[in-house]
Amino acid sequence: MSVRTDRASGLIRKEIALMLLGGEIHDPRLSGVVSITDVEMSRDLQYATVYFTMYGGEQAEGLEGLKSSAGFIRRQLGRKLKMRRVPELRFKSDNSMVQGEKIDRLLNSIDIPPADEGDE
């Protein structure tokens, strides 16, 4: 990634997170706590893939809520950011936290006997 795309993705991530935190986005499908985990920009800054996690709600419903709010979010970004063209937003659910918790539970469930000191 270039400095330009890094800067743009950071600004977009911050502004969308602030909109969610401030309650600017009113959609009943976003009933849980929504966290923006990452934003990936295309090289030409035409598209932004926004990754999110949702706690206390259904990920699929959250995805639909964000998709339906994409136009509003994009307009708000246009007002708040000084970009020539606001990128088209694509939302994707970030399942890394859920998968990490699942792996953690599996590792904790393994019963590993302590190593004998005489085996060395």
How far is Cα 33 from Cα 62, in angstroms, rounded to an integer? 10
pLDDT digits (tens, 9 = 90+) for 61-97: 989 999 999 999 999 999 999 888 899 999 999 877 7
Beta-strand (E) ranges in the chain?
A: 33-41, 47-55, 88-93
Q: Which domain holds residue 41?
A: 3-109
Q: What share of the chain is helix, strand, coil (3-state, %, to 5)?
A: 50, 20, 30
pTM over 0.95: no
User: What pLDDT was estimated at residue 6?
Assistant: 92
Task: Give the CATH number for residue 40.
Answer: 3.30.300.20
How far is Cα 48 from Cα 46, in angstroms, rounded to an integer? 7
How far is Cα 67 from Cα 63, in angstroms, rounded to an integer? 6
Q: How many domains does the chain have?
A: 1
User: What pLDDT was estimated at residue 76?
Assistant: 94
119 lies in a domain?
Answer: no
Q: What is the mean pLDDT of residues 4-29?
A: 91
116 lies in a domain?
Answer: no
User: What pLDDT was estimated at residue 55?
Assistant: 83
How far is Cα 63 from Cα 54, in angstroms, rounded to an integer? 9
Cβ–Cβ under 8 Å, residues 32 and 55: yes
36 lies in a domain?
Answer: yes
pLDDT band at 107 (very low <50, low <70, confident <90, very high): confident
pLDDT over threshold 70, residue 49: yes
118 lies in a domain?
Answer: no
